[in-house]
């Protein structure tokens, strides 16, 4: 007989996960209109109140290149304010459990994070990023891999002295939108390099949706063979082929416990146009249609994980409510199916039931809950040609 217990089939799959939200940073960076500071504050607060404890606040890089983040200091000032801390207390949120992250791709941004920390409003954690394919790395950072590694090593030391954690991201694990196919073994080595120079954790990123589920399972199995502490690893999947949910499942089966997502599946390459004006961003887009970029969707991922019985710490219904609000903020239909269709409820949706079933069953002299004719045996007898023993 087959084994039917899912956790016996996949014994490494966790019973509890952490899902960080990166809507305000990765999600909004792709939008070609400025999202107001008030809206950013609203979503930062509401995500935290709904259960998010690891949240990306902003990008501390050049506001000339990415004007979407010109309000970075204002966001941190609000999140460090006594007013917000008191609101957390009223909502039953332990403020000390919240980890605020800023993206700091280059050293100047790291220095700004440290300055904000010294002012009492800085991030708990920052992030730098390498790509295993150097053309993609150069497009994102403007420098070579060897030069960037030395810069990262220097920045990690600065952050350690300032009391800030550094996350090291590895990209183009499953392929590059610029250079094509890559070798996953390179990404394993890059991950070990991050830990060697002092990174606190590693984001394993599929930034262009290249990953397929069997390769995700294989990669994270390789990672956990080399670096088995699951607290070190974060799975970051983009959605370009409607396969990211399968990648999440494959990562779970391999034993990964930390994930990232955005409301509505927002996100992608930094915009090179904002409101009515072209802007630098990271140059020309490396995709043909902006409808098919973005991260795995927070709403749908939560519904998937929740219905698997895996603990996650979110108020799912509150997140679905937020997803509907986000569509109004962005001004278009986003990618969440759960926002439209809701959760699979055990009690059903009886408002859609046709009337008079009970009366018909009584007329036919059938019992409530009776599914088969009265004169049929209690259990089906399978014809021998279909039996597993035939």
Question: Tokens 């088969």 map to which residue?
Answer: 372
Query: Between helices 298-307 and 316-330, what is the axis angle to 10°?
Result: 160
**Is pLDDT of 390 > 70?**
no
3-state secondary structure of 44: helix
pLDDT at 389: 60
Q: How many CB atoms lie within 10 A of CB 291?
A: 9
pLDDT (tens digit, 9 = 90+) per residue, 80-133? 999 999 999 999 999 999 999 999 999 999 999 999 999 999 999 999 999 999
Q: What is the largest CA-CA distance in the chain?
A: 82
Q: Tell me which of 269 and 216 has the higher pLDDT.
A: 216
pLDDT at 183: 96
* Sign for the pseudo-dihedral over CA of 76, 28, 262, 164: negative
The CATH superfamily label for domain 15-341 reads Aldolase class I (3.20.20.70)
pLDDT at 1: 60
Q: Tell me which of 223 and 343 has the higher pLDDT.
A: 223
Instruction: Assess contact for 289 and 271: CB atoms under 8 A.
Output: no
Percent of the chain residues topping a pLDDT of 70: 99
Going by the DSSP 8-state scheme, the letter that residue 25 receives in this structure is I
Which one of 159-163, 274-278, 381-385 scores highest in mean pLDDT?
159-163
pLDDT (tens digit, 9 = 90+) per residue, 328-380? 999 999 999 999 988 887 788 888 899 999 999 999 999 999 999 999 999 99
Q: What is the mean pLDDT of residues 9-36?
A: 96
Residue 243: band (very low, low, confident or very high) from pLDDT cuts 50, 70, 90: confident
Parallel/antiparallel/unpaired status of strands 277-278 and 273-274: antiparallel
Domain locations in the chain? 15-341, 356-386
pLDDT (tens digit, 9 = 90+) per residue, 252-275? 999 999 999 999 999 988 899 999
Instruction: Assess contact for 250 and 214: CB atoms under 8 A.
Output: yes
At a CB cut-off of 8 Å and minimum separation 6, what does 165 contact? Answer: 124, 125, 126, 159, 200, 201
| Burial (Cβ within 10 Å: 0-12, 13-18, ≥19) of residue 381 | exposed
pTM: 0.92
């Amino acid at each position: 007989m087959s084994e039917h217990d899912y956790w016996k089939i996949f014994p490494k799959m966790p019973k509890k996960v952490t899902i960080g939200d990166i809507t305000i940073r990765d999600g909004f960076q792709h939008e070609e209109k400025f999202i107001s500071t008030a809206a950013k504050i609203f979503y930062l607060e509401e995500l935290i109140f709904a259960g998010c404890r690891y949240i990306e606040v902003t990008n501390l890089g050049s506001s000339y290149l990415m004007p979407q983040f010109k309000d970075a200091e204002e966001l941190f000032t609000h999140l460090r304010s006594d007013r917000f801390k008191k609101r957390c207390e009223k909502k039953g949120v332990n403020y000390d459990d919240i980890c605020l992250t800023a993206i700091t791709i280059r050293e100047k941004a790291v220095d700004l994070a440290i300055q904000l920390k010294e002012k009492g409003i800085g991030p708990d954690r920052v992030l730098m990023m390498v790509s295993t394919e150097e053309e993609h790395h150069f497009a994102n950072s403007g420098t070579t891999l060897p030069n960037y590694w030395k810069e990262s090593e220097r920045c990690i030391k600065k952050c350690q002295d300032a009391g800030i954690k550094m996350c090291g991201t590895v990209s183009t694990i499953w392929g590059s939108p610029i250079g094509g196919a890559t070798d996953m073994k390179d990404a394993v080595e890059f991950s070990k390099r991050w830990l060697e120079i002092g990174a606190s954790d590693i984001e394993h990123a599929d930034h262009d949706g290249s990953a397929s589920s069997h390769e995700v399972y294989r990669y994270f199995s390789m990672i956990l063979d080399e670096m088995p502490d699951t607290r070190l690893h974060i799975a970051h999947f983009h959605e370009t082929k409607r396969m990211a949910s399968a990648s999440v499942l494959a990562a779970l089966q391999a034993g990964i416990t930390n994930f990232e997502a955005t409301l509505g599946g927002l996100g992608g390459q930094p915009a090179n146009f904002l409101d009515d004006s072209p802007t630098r961003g990271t140059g020309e887009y490396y995709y043909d249609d902006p409808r098919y970029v973005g991260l795995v969707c927070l709403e749908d991922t939560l519904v998937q994980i929740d219905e698997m019985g895996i603990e996650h710490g979110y108020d799912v219904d509150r997140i679905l409510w937020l997803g509907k609000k986000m569509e109004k903020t962005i001004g278009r239909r986003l990618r969440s199916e759960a926002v439209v269709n809701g959760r699979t409820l055990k009690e059903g949706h009886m408002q859609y039931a046709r009337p008079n079933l009970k009366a018909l069953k009584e007329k036919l002299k059938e019992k409530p809950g009776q599914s088969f004719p009265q004169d049929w045996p209690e259990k089906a007898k399978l014809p021998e040609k279909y039996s597993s023993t035939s």
